[in-house]
Amino acid sequence: MSLCFQLPSKFPLNIHLRCSKPTPTSLSVTASRSEVLPPALDSSSEPPPIFDGIPKLYISYSCPYAQRPWIARNCKGLQDTIKLVPIDLKNRPAWYKEKVYPANKVPALEHNNEVKGESLDLIKYIDSNFEGPSLFPDDPSKREFSEELLSHLDTFYKTVTSYFKGEKEDVGAAFDSIETALSKYGDGPFFLGQFSLVDIAYVPFVERFQLFLLEVKSYDITTGRPKLAAWIEEMNQIEGYKVTKRDPNELVEGYKKRYSS
């Protein structure tokens, strides 16, 4: 599942910098204007112009799946190309289902008179169909490993959330698998050495899992996992991701409502 229904340094950058193609251990950037995030549209809001030739990314600010293409958009430097249209999932406008996306979920991308969904498909689509630095490796072995990691996402997510639900007694193995994956390449701190779509795919969930486990279970996912700790540190320096992060208390409270008895 990669769509949302209702859901409750080493690399100093300036806000909304355009990421150029990353070197193994750094991200080169050129300055871009700051972006004022628009308010979420609800049932009382008028729709934006639809199929007017301007690409639009429909998201929810609280949705981890929608966070993925939002990050990809930012790190491609597409803030002026793809318009961000946030939707209030608790009070969503009727026109969104009727005129934009019949599935009535986020994320969704309006481009070339079509609307596409599914977050993993969207980050690949944005990378392939828009200008900006490539977020997918040219190295065949890294491309193969990236597909393995993307395929592992469901297992990772289900293992951790099963622990939250009390269906599993231990969650350590799930994060050990991430530590192992991060240890494969020595040419940078990211999953494929350099920053890529794989990092974008994982980080919204690691962000939430880390906060919830530390707050509710007193479990620090970085203890004994130096690669994971370094990855989180480096991700937190990337402005294209940082601007998408929500208030930690809001995320924890949302997970408490979902998983705490």
Phi/psi at 71 (5° precision): -65, -45
**Per-residue pLDDT at 260:** 76
Pair 32, 18: CB distance under 8 Å: yes
Taking CA atoms, 202 is separated from 168, 197, 218, 260, in Å, by 21, 9, 22, 23
- CA angle at 90 for the pair 89 and 95, rounded to the nearest 5°: 55
CA-based Rg of the chain, rounded to a whole angstrom?
18
The beta-strand segments (E) located in the chain are 18-19, 29-30, 56-59, 83-86, 108-111, 114-117
Q: pLDDT per residue over 144-198, tens digit each? A: 999 999 999 999 999 999 999 999 999 999 999 999 999 999 999 999 999 999 9
The mean pLDDT value for 233-250 works out to 96
- In one letter, which amino acid is 13? L
Across 26-30, 170-174, 232-236, 245-249, least confident range: 26-30
Q: What is the pLDDT of residue 10?
A: 32
CB 29 within 8 A of CB 82: no
